[in-house]
Amino acid sequence: METELLAWYERAKRDLPWRRTRDPYAILVSEIMLQQTQVERVVPRYVAWLERWPTAADLAAASAGDVIRAWQGLGYNRRAIALHTAAKSIAENGWPADLTTLPGVGPYTAAAVRNFALGEPVLPIDVNVTRVRERTGYDFSPASAQALMDLGATVCLARIPRCDICPLAAGCPSRGRRHEPARKQSRFEGSFRQRRAELLRLVADSPRVAATLESAVVESLLRDGLVALDGPLLTLPS
């Protein structure tokens, strides 16, 4: 089954910029950006980010405010602070043996950097990889990581898999089976998350008088280190 998967990947793989590098910093940037953000939105932002900050040392030297501004539109802005803090740690101390000690890096992201950048035989297990493994009942090797991700993202879809074009369909015990819809994320429109994003966008444009803003949102952004107080003004951190 793995042979068929890899042959399909050679024909159908997505041309993504982070697949053209083995630089662990570039891979880390892509993986942090891809957390909860669609590939299509990430691609141009990833390219622009690396043009501006091509190394961990370059990012570490940037101000937190500039990093937050550059992140606008990708969502979940705490990831920007985590990536910035991780870059500072890498610039000062080098890459740690345990990558999960870096801010924003969990087991999956650590495994992705180890596999895609360092060539280590570990399989990064995201939702797409998990889905393909569970449906096929096959234990794929780390060499199939990118192929599994592409198959899960484009063919072995969560609710209605495209079994008619799947290279693994002949031997898949789940072929033709419909699946229950995945639990939907809570509505963004009108949510606290949206109000946070909008307020942060305002502050990124120019400082605002904190007392005139929604206090719960201000306090939340302050806790996450996304804004700072300069007297009565709410600003981006320096």
Tally the domains of the chain: 3
Give the residue numbers spanning the domain of 229: 192-235
Average pLDDT, the chain: 94
**CATH code of residue 6:** 1.10.1670.10
Contact 24, 96 (CB under 8 A): no
Q: Is residue 17 part of a domain?
A: no
- Same structural domain, 111 and 35: yes
Q: Are residues 100 and 159 in the same domain?
A: no
Tens-place pLDDT, residues 7-45: 999 999 999 999 999 999 999 999 999 998 999 999 999
Provide the token pair at 169. Answer: 């369909």
Same domain, 132 and 176: yes
Are 157 and 199 contained in the same domain? no
Res. 186: pLDDT tops 70 = no
Domain boundary among 116, 147, 171: 116
- In this prediction, residues 116-127 reach a mean pLDDT of 96
Rounded CA-CA distance 61/77 in Å is 19
Mean pLDDT along residues 83-95: 98
Q: Cβ neighbours of residue 190 under 8 Å, at least 6 residues apart?
A: none
Q: What is the pLDDT of residue 187?
A: 74
Residues 31, 120, 134, 214: which is the catalytic one? 31
Q: Please indicate, yes or no, if residue 54 is contained in any of the structural domains.
A: yes
Asked whether residue 102 falls in the same domain as residue 31, the answer is yes
Catalytic (active site) residue 31: yes
Name the packing angle between helices 145-154 and 127-136 (round to 10°): 90
Residues 6 or more apart whose CB falls under 8 angstroms from that of 151 comprise 5, 8, 9, 128, 132, 166, 167, 168
User: From start to end of the chain, where are the E strands?
Assistant: 208-209, 228-230, 233-235
Residue where one domain finishes, among candidates 116, 138, 159: 116
Do 89 and 109 lie in a common domain?
yes
Amino acid making up residue 51: E
